[in-house]
Chain A
Amino acid sequence: MAAIELDGVTKRFGDVTAVSDLDLTVPEGEVFGFLGPNGAGKSTTINMLLDFVRPTDGEIRVLGLDAGRESVAVRRRTGVLPEGYDVYHRLTGRKHVEFAMRSKEVDGDPDAILERVGIADAADRKAGDYSKGMRQRLTLGMALVGDPDLLILDEPSSGLDPGGAREMRDIVRTEADRGATVFFSSHVLGQVEAVCDRVGIMREGELVAEDSINGLRDAVEGGETLVITVDAASEDDLEAVRALDGVSNAATDGGTVTVTCDADTKTAVIGALEDAGVSVKDFQTEETSLEDLFIAYTEGEEVTA
């Protein structure tokens, strides 16, 4: 069964269309990264999963339940780290977790939760005195209460230092190993690559790509960039390179030649240059980075270098 299913979902705020005819299915047990620049419609989509906002059109099912009519039942089995939230400044961290436990009608040890998200030593301090990162940890802790079947995390790493972001990824992985489905949004690519089974990229309210990381990389282009240091090369020397199968782009500034190509075409590229009388001093390959990939999808530019 699908954990999340959106079918033709549109959300308009006045005459602004935040999400447009979105179809998306996340199977149970998957870690799904929901990518896109700010304002692409990621948070609006998440808010619709939680019934914070209602879709203008379309159908949403979460854990097999109607996201609007059966929202309480959905949220009983879902842990949420929302976007743009605040904590209760006058209540301590422990009180927050106790509140989450009473709300989800489960028993448990609040201190164990706080320990897990790394703020056990601040359990008795008022959450109003917490830093942004600590609030983020506290809210994640509240989300983990009751071992939810689904975790929805909106920009979970915002406010966290690199160490905190890594701990967040570890928690995501542990939850996934337990069998939970994890749906999280991000505009930072590094987090996604490390933990996601699959990603979807939003752009201006539409899903422009949906695939595994490797699948996306293949889809963007050739995959590798070959940077070759030479004695001297001219545009003419590149003709033979460009003619090769698997080469999508080649350029030179005289001293280096940059070629975008399939991984198994590299030898042929170097051979073609030497045949043209160019002496190759050194070469290295770079994978097309996810950053390039992301920019390619969100800004619509071709991935070249």
Chain B
Amino acid sequence: MTWTAVARKDFEDAIRSRWVAGLSALFVLLVSAAAYLVRPAPGQTISSNQILNSLFVRDALVTTLVPLLALIVAYNAVVGERESGSLKLLLSLPHSRADVVFGKVAGRAGAIAAPIAVGFLLPAAILLVVPAVNFDVLSYVGYTLLTAVLGVVFVSIAVGFSTAASSSRRAVAGAIGIYFLFVPLWGAVRFPLQLYLGMGGGPSWLPLTGQQVLRMLRLINPTGSFKIVSNAFLQGSLYTGGSVNMQVSATLMLLVWILVPPLLGLLWFQEADL
């Protein structure tokens, strides 16, 4: 098992890309802006959790931007090396193809987690000194980690495509398709669908109620699962209060998204001629 060597090499390589430096700066800027915009009314205090769970941070920054940037960081992971020829250098060394794929997932996971960590933790300094903000360290660090997990999910999806695609154009197309499906498209149909299913609509051949279908769709979408877990976490009720089943399912779903796409890509990659 030499995937750790691949992961380290890949992280060192990816971290030197201009993308990663740019993303770190972008995150710092956006989280700082959020910290500035989501201000308490005069004379009141708010918790840092409220800032994180605000529309600006949660919906705009985390669940819209993070998936996109993770896909950008990772879509070229394998197919890029295949096209340049460095994959031959990589596989001249004693790595199995599984080592390559999972080493890539780990390396690029680091490459998206690093800007997320920097982007959240630097602005934390601002929040710490603003007197009207009640800074909850544990929640803040936890939320940063959860955001990194969301990034890793999309890294995994992108590496899966990157492993199976025969050209980087196809890998990009796959990554963009997934993003479009889970973020803007889902965002657009979610509300009408909610209304329709809530009013008793839905396929009658399914032994499920409209509400159940809706919940399933939310779970399948990694950004949906992320929101279920992160909301519960910020409310301090993760795996304890509210709908525990839903939270456990959502956590498992995120894990499935991390493992399954690279495995599917590997199935194809195992058989491929370089």
Interface residues of A (CB under 8 A from B): 13, 47, 50-54, 71-73, 75-76, 80-88, 90-91, 95, 99-100, 102-105, 139, 142-143
Pair A52/B9 contact, Cβ less than 8 Å: no
Pair A85/B95 contact, Cβ less than 8 Å: no
Question: Out of B5, B13, B84, B86, which one reaches A102, CB within 8 Å?
Answer: B5
Interface size class of B (residues with CB under 8 A): 20 to 34
What's the count of A-B pairs with C-beta under 8 Å? 80
Q: Is the interface of A mostly helix, strand, loop or mixed?
A: mixed
Question: Out of B9, B12, B88, B96, which one reaches A72, CB within 8 Å?
Answer: B96
B142 CB–A CB distance under 8 Å: no
Pair B86/A87 contact, Cβ less than 8 Å: yes
Q: A52-B273, A54-B273, A103-B94 are in contact. Are A88 and B86 (CB under 8 A)?
A: yes
CA distance A155 to B2 in the complex (A): 28
Q: Is the interface of B mostly helix, strand, loop or mixed?
A: helix
Q: A52-B91, A99-B5, A103-B2 are in contact. Are A90 and B273 (CB under 8 A)?
A: no
Pair B86/A75 contact, Cβ less than 8 Å: no
Pair A76/B85 contact, Cβ less than 8 Å: no
CA distance A71 to B274 in the complex (A): 14
A230 shortest CB reach to chain B, Å: 57
Q: Which residues does chain B contribute within 8 Å of A139, judged by CB atoms?
A: 89
Interface residues of B (CB under 8 A from A): 2, 5-6, 8-9, 12-13, 16-17, 84-86, 88-89, 91-96, 271, 273-274
Pair B93/A103 contact, Cβ less than 8 Å: yes
Q: Which residues does chain B contribute within 8 Å of A104, judged by CB atoms?
A: 93-94
Q: A47-B274, A52-B274, A87-B86 are in contact. Are A72 and B95 (CB under 8 A)?
A: yes
Pair A87/B94 contact, Cβ less than 8 Å: no
CA distance A155 to B116 in the complex (A): 44
Closest residue of B by beta carbon distance from A77: B94
Question: Out of A51, A53, A75, A84, which one reaches B93, CB within 8 Å?
Answer: A75
Pair B91/A88 contact, Cβ less than 8 Å: no
Supplied contacts A13-B273, A52-B91, A99-B9, 16 more A-B pairs, CB within 8 Å: A53-B274, A71-B96, A75-B91, A75-B92, A75-B95, A80-B92, A81-B92, A85-B85, A85-B88, A85-B89, A86-B84, A86-B85, A86-B86, A103-B5, A105-B2, A139-B89
